[in-house]
């Protein structure tokens, strides 16, 4: 599951290196100007009362700004209502406590002579609040009584810990026993056998990057919203309960769904034969392959093809609904973020892991948080990648209709 992080990090590292060289040149030029300015000032105006070593100049004092954290103190009090806590952090107190315990060994810090360490619960709360609300860091800072830079650092630290500690436990491709259960559940939903996942790709808005701007330009969102849009992608596969079993995060928003799929670790695993004999269901934005099952997209469909599209649509809806809950629960995914581009995959991965924890622990989502996804489906240039898969799809469609498993909504 962590494979895509390393591949994507190489991509960002190349971009970041070019940007770093440019910044280094700019700083060098600025330093030369600053030195020249200081030299000129020294020539024009002599320094008065300069004190040498041991002249008794004052020693610097260390201090910590006193900030109010009354709101947070109220949240962690035993009397704070469960519903209010859940409304604030998108999960109940028991789930929050579990996450804190799991991450404690990684994110806990020790007190020093200068200041007390920020408690683990407050560290986790800062991160979860930021992900849940998408509030600007200056407001998060006031709410928790911490500095802006401290809050930014805590969000990245906790998200990294979630990826390292919780992702291997809560976001992994299922074992063989679990895959059999997933197949049975999807077949009970649709009548289609051997389905091990429902796949969807969504876009996360970002601020226009300083480099490779064209790669992140989202043409379809720009045309629909009449406003220049930039984004990165999140591709996910979910089980029948809407729990992510695979994610691929961070490829530029100009890429179509089939292009993102080809960059994913899932695609590499399929090419190595690990998905032989099973299906992952996608929408019309994906190509028909030996392991990817998609609806018919041509004109003038037959009754059999209509029936198939209706049943496969029920599986597609599982993934789309899961992504709607992901974005609804973690509102930071709905707005342009202050997080640097190279840090976004870690933050978005943490959101997917937290989504899984909430789904597994049956944390109900407030209906007010429900959103409607607006992601365009673009049929790939090469929509058919395997003649064998076309015959297999036709056979499934025939069986659905002639064994009484297809619906009648298309009539």
The DSSP secondary-structure symbol of 51 reads -
Nearest to 336 by CA among 238, 225, 260: 225
Token duo for residue 395: 């056979």
- 159 and 277 part of one domain: no
Q: Is residue 164 part of a domain?
A: yes
- pLDDT for res 74: 94
**What is the reported pLDDT for 77?**
94
- Residue 328 located in a structural domain: yes
**One domain for residues 386 and 246:** yes
- Starting at the earlier edge strand, list the strands of the sheet with 292-293: 244-252, 230-238, 195-206, 279-281, 292-293
Neighbour count for residue 61 (Cβ, 10 Å): 5
CB 410 within 8 A of CB 307: yes
* Structural domains counted in the chain: 2
Asked if the structure places residue 129 within a domain, the reply is yes
Q: What is the pLDDT of residue 112?
A: 86
Alpha carbons 355 and 182: distance in angstroms, whole number: 19
Whether residue 396 sits in one domain with residue 284: yes
- In the prediction, which pLDDT does 17 show? 63
Domain final position from 146, 169, 192: 169
Is 137 part of any domain? yes
User: Do 211 and 187 share a domain, yes or no?
Assistant: yes
The residue from 151, 169, 187 where one domain ends is: 169
Say if residues 292 and 299 touch (Cβ distance below 8 Å).
Answer: no
Does residue 79 sit in helix, strand or coil?
coil
Same-domain pairing of 146 and 176: no
- DSSP code of 276? T
- What's the confidence (pLDDT) of residue 114? 80
Same domain, 269 and 382: yes
Please identify which residue in the block is written with the tokens 């992504």: 323
Token readout for 95 is 């789930």
Domain end: 139, 169, 199, which one?
169
Structure tokens that stand for 194 in this block: 């051997």
The reply to whether 214 falls in a domain is yes
Predicted pLDDT of residue 226 = 83
- Is the domain of 138 the same as that of 240? no
pTM reported for the whole predicted model: 0.83
Domain containing 150 equals: 70-169
67-70, long-range: CB < 8 A, 24+ apart: 67/141, 67/142, 67/145, 67/146, 67/147, 68/145, 69/122, 69/144, 69/145, 69/146, 70/145
Let me know whether 75 and 205 are in one domain: no
* Beta-carbon contacts of residue 7 (< 8 Å; ≥ 6 apart): 263, 265
Instruction: Note whether residue 238 is domain-resident.
Output: yes
Residue 273 lies in a domain: yes
Query: What does 201-243 look like in DSSP terms, one character per residue?
Result: EEEEEEPPPSS-HHHHB-HHHHHHHTS--EEEEEEEEE-TTS-
**Which residues of the chain, if any, have pLDDT below 70?**
1-24, 26, 28-66, 404-411
Which pLDDT does position 48 carry in this prediction?
45
Please indicate, yes or no, whether residues 192 and 153 belong to a single structural domain of this protein: no
Give me the pLDDT at residue 224, please. 83
Q: What is the pLDDT of residue 105?
A: 95
Residues 285 and 382 in one domain: yes
Q: Does residue 367 form part of some domain?
A: yes
**pLDDT attached to residue 403:** 74
The whole-angstrom separation of Cα 292 and Cα 389 is: 8
Q: Give strand pairing partners of 195.
A: 279
Pair 181, 241 in one domain: yes
Instruction: Give the single-character DSSP code of 300.
Output: S
Do 185 and 146 sit in the same domain of this protein? no
């Amino acid at each position: 599951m962590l494979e895509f992080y390393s591949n994507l990090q190489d991509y960002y590292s190349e971009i970041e290196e070019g940007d770093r060289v440019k910044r280094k040149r700019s700083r060098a030029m600025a330093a030369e100007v600053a030195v020249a300015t200081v030299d000129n000032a020294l020539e024009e105006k002599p320094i008065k009362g300069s004190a040498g070593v041991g002249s008794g100049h004052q020693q610097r004092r260390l201090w910590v700004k006193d900030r109010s954290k009354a709101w947070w103190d109220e949240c962690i009090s035993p009397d704070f209502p469960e519903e209010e806590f859940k409304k604030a952090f998108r999960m109940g107190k028991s789930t929050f406590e579990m996450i804190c315990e799991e991450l404690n060994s990684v994110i806990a810090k020790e007190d020093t002579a200068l200041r007390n360490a920020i408690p683990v619960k407050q560290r986790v709360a800062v991160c979860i609040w930021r992900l849940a609300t998408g509030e600007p860091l200056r407001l998060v800072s006031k709410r928790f009584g911490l500095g802006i830079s401290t809050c930014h650092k805590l969000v990245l630290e906790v998200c990294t810990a979630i990826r390292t500690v919780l992702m291997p436990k809560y976001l992994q491709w299922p074992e063989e026993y679990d895959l059999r259960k997933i197949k049975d559940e999807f077949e009970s939903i649709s009548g289609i056998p051997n389905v091990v996942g429902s796949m969807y790709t969504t876009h996360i808005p970002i601020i226009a990057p300083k480099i490779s701007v064209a790669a992140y330009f989202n043409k379809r969102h720009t045309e629909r919203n009449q406003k220049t849009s930039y984004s990165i992608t999140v591709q996910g596969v979910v089980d029948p309960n809407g729990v992510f079993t695979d994610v691929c995060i961070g490829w530029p928003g100009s890429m179509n769904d089939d292009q993102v799929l080809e960059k994913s670790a899932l695609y590499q695993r399929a090419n190595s034969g690990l998905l032989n004999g099973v299906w992952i269901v996608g929408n019309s934005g994906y190509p028909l392959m030996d392991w990817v099952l998609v609806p018919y997209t041509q004109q003038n469909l037959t009754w059999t093809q209509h029936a198939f599209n209706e049943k496969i649509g029920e599986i597609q809806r599982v993934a789309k609904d899961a992504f709607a809950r992901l974005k609804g629960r973690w509102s930071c995914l709905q707005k342009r973020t202050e997080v640097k581009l190279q840090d976004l995959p870690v933050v978005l991965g943490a959101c997917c892991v937290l989504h899984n924890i909430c789904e597994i622990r049956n944390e109900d989502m407030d209906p007010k948080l429900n959103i409607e996804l607006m992601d365009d489906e673009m049929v790939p240039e090469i929509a058919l990648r395997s003649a064998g898969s076309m015959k297999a799809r036709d056979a499934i469609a025939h069986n659905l209709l002639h064994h009484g498993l297809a619906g009648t909504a298309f009539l």
